[in-house]
A and B are shown apart, each in its own frame.
Chain A
Amino acid sequence: MIGSLFTPFLFQSAAQAITPILLAALAGVLCGRVGVFNLALEGQMLAGAFAAIVGSFLAHSALVGVAAAMAGAAAFSLILAYGATVFRGDPVVIGIGMNLLASGLTAYLLRVVFGVSGTFSDPGVVGLGRIAIPALAGVPVLGWAFARQSAITWAAWALTALIGVVLYLTPVGLRLRGVGEQPEAAGALGVDVARYRIVTVLVAGALTGLAGAQLSLGAVSVFAEDMSAGRGWIAVVAVMLGRNNPLYAAAACVLFGFADAIGVNLQSRGLPNQLTDAAPYVATLLALVVSHRRRSRFSQRSRKPAPTAGEAAAAHRRGGSGRKA
């Protein structure tokens, strides 16, 4: 029974489920790195999904749809970008507001633009094609997962690598990491903290747009109210589990993607869907508990806030010198 679960189909549907979560998580990681905790991923994704449908419907082009999604979500992210910097708002409050706004606004626009409510699909909407790579077809696991996926799925993984490289190997990445950790110190060294934050949040917004486009133009070409369906929240959890590291966050997304795919699979075997839909959330909770227990063991020694000179002196005295064990 367990063995028969891990079919090529499972890997394919997992890869598909991972894509939007991963893109949103990457966006969350970038924002987290510059010190803007992004809770708006769910709403940003939804805005992107809607913009994608509109673009594709009007231009009869998936590419235009994707471009519209990225631009639309980035524009929507202006609220967070300026709200959390220039206007000094609390990113948590702004994020929650944006999620409510996205949900209401897309439902409203659905009615205004398309004259329908609930869901919208139309032959005029061009979905994303699936890329088949024959050379991969024979390879187990990887071949199964990437057999027929949209370009966005490929892009998500390429972006994961790219963001890793930018964060850890380039001057911009170094500065980003510093801005999030000690904005004051970064500013003192000539880095324009507000500008770094604004640009990063907007770029992250474009990534959530890509995630939204995958939702509405990826597997099926349809927009449904609240179709992000909690994926943004799962991405938030992935960001926290991955502690703003793109690779760890991606690993968390893989876990959630598989939980999702397994849930779907079990459903096809007759388990009630209310139960199976919960699979990714159960995985999320388990992951949170496990990581919390690991971290709280850690934090015994690092309970105090950011090290001050005095704290460092204490650390020095405690450990003699050099690294703490």
Chain B
Amino acid sequence: MPEIAAAGIVKRYGGLVANDGVTLSAERGEIHGVMGENGAGKTTLMNILFGMQAPDAGEIRLRGAAVRFRSQIDAMAAGLGMVHQSFKLFGSLTAWENIVYGAEPRRGPFVDRRAARARVAGLAARHRLAVDPDARVGDLSVGVRQRIEILKALHRDARILILDEPTAVLTPPERDALFEVLKSLAAEGRTVLLVTHKLHEATAITDRVTILRDGRTVATLRTADTGAAEIVRAMTGRSVNLEVRKRPRAPGVPLLRAIDVTIASPSGRPAVDRVSLTVRGGEIVGIAGVAGNGQSELVEALVGLRKPDHGRVELCGRDVTDADVPARRAAGLAYIPEDRAAVGSAPSASAADNLAMGFHRAPPLARGLFVDPAAFAAWALALIRRYAIRIANERVAVGTLSGGNLQKIVVARELAHEAPALIAEQPTRGLDVGATETIHERLVAERDSGRAVLLVSAELGEILALSDRVLVMFEGRILADLPQERADEQSVGLLMAGRGTEPG
């Protein structure tokens, strides 16, 4: 008997059918993957299983018995736990306070702090989830916060754990540690539902995957007898070319330069240490490195969000070190930020407004002092079509979009600038394989049309596939500048860990 089973789940949002008769069933002790393109309805299904939304039709069974959750509180009481795409934690409270919140051990009228800490420390030790119970959550890294979310579920003795794209925000070592935890939870007889876009993750850790397309279950595959290509075909209904084809490069003049940029950090060791780099027109330069080695500070300095303590930034041959963000954009810089929700978009504004931002001051989107709503709509619809963004219409607030579709909005807008220089930070995070392919093609097309592209990504595979030159950043410095021919997984991987030297 399956531990949890959903049958015929339907969920509509206005005219959009997010789930259209989804079936899913997971056994006790199984790690069950849930895959599908952006907007296929994965998050919607997970929210329904966890009682956060009521399905319009369909049935959920736990160990054979039909259940109807009125809220996630019912779901938690029935032994479910969920780690959301965005965490729900109290930043000013400590780790243990977050974990026991709402289910506190007591002594008389008081919270039994000692019992609570012991419980948290015990769970953390047993499941190898390294967490300091007394740390303030606001000070903790994403990886640790995620462990706290898992401990929250375990404290309530969840037998079924749902994780929605848990690895999107993790560094590779953090991801490996998470997978060890999930395996041991499954070995204990718990059931794990894991939403992911990454094929290698699905094949590495899941027992089976259920694949959704357009709100319907198209297949449930046993991972051991399935290849990545088969999963991709099931998700997209076509075969996706995972290889990137590029013309030989023809580098032109330097369009984006950093000269001797140094950025101090509170810890004493500079976050960015005398970094110089040049990106020429017609090339993609990739910055590889484990997150936290100065990449985002460097990008902030290039974009104008942060003033370097030392050094200069040049854009199209002009010194822009003292220019602010709008001035740099005007001088020819486009930027796809890593944080699409907080930096890249205005969640409560419509897709049309978000896509028009930065273009709204000049024709054709503006007429004199006023913006032209009809032009906004036409512009938005064109981009929505070109990037196959799954959205009911252009007036929808982008905050309701699936994670991948929001990312597409930001990418579509920034590429529309056709600026000479483009900085793309984690451009495909959270995107499905098809959309990743599209964006890779776009970045290569930018390069081929003579633009300079600086790509910062935690995905080594993406860096290696796209970059004409690979820079490896470690502890704020650039350790190596390798042409594509000499950059391979092994040499770059060693450099990312601070070992190895540039060959030759």
Contact = CB atoms under 8 A, between A and B. Distances in A.
Highest count of chain A CB atoms <10 Å: which of B106, B136, B141, B293: B141
A169 B97 CA distance: 11
Nearest to B77: A190
A207 B251 CA distance: 73
Nearest to B82: A188
A139 interface: no
Given A186-B101, A317-B291, A320-B292, A311 B88 contact: no
Interface in A71-87: none
A181 B144 CA distance: 20
Contacts, number: 128
B92 A177 contact: yes
Contacts of A170: 109-111
Contacts of A304: 342
A313 B338 contact: yes
A312 B141 contact: yes
Interface of B: 72-73, 76, 85-93, 97, 101-104, 106, 109-111, 113, 135-136, 138-145, 152, 169, 265-267, 271, 291-297, 338-343
Nearest to A313: B142
Given A188-B88, A313-B141, 18 more contacts: A174-B97, A175-B101, A178-B101, A185-B90, A186-B90, A188-B72, A301-B266, A307-B91, A308-B86, A309-B145, A310-B338, A310-B340, A310-B341, A310-B342, A312-B141, A314-B296, A317-B295, A319-B265
A299 to B, nearest CB: 13
A184 B88 contact: yes
A302 to B, nearest CB: 8
A168 to B, nearest CB: 9
A171 B88 contact: no
A307 B106 CA distance: 30
Interface in A153-198: 169-171, 173-175, 177-178, 181-182, 184-186, 188-191
A325 interface: yes
Nearest to A192: B73
A318 interface: yes
Contact of B73 (A184, A190, A319): A190
B88 A309 contact: no
Contacts of B113: 169
A174 B291 contact: no
A298 to B, nearest CB: 12
B266 A181 contact: no
A323 B93 contact: no
Which residue of B136, B142, B265, B271 has the most chain A CB atoms within 10 A of its CB atom? B142
Classify chain A's interface size.
Answer: 35 or more
A137 interface: no
A181 B91 contact: yes
Contacts of B341: 308, 310
A316 interface: yes
Nearest to A191: B102
Contacts of B88: 182, 184-185, 188
B91 A306 contact: yes
Nearest to A323: B139
Main SS class of interface, A:
helix
A322 interface: yes
Given A313-B291, A325-B267, A177 B342 contact: no
Contacts of A174: 93, 97, 101, 104, 111
Contacts of B91: 181-182, 306-307
B5 to A, nearest CB: 24
A269 B392 CA distance: 75
B339 A182 contact: no
Nearest to B52: A188
7 contacts: A178-B101, A188-B72, A304-B342, A312-B141, A314-B339, A320-B267, A322-B135
Contacts of B169: 309-310, 313
A315 interface: yes
A322 B130 CA distance: 12
B198 to A, nearest CB: 17
What are the 10 A-B residue pairs with the smallest beta carbon separation, nearest first? Answer: A310-B339, A316-B141, A189-B102, A317-B292, A185-B88, A325-B266, A190-B73, A323-B139, A171-B104, A312-B142
A305 interface: yes
A115 B102 CA distance: 53
Interface string A82-100: 0000000000000000000
A45 B261 CA distance: 58
Contacts of B291: 313, 316-317
Nearest to B271: A318
Nearest to A301: B266
A324 interface: yes
A24 to B, nearest CB: 24
Nearest to A182: B90
B101 A189 contact: yes
Contacts of A314: 296, 338-339
A167 to B, nearest CB: 11
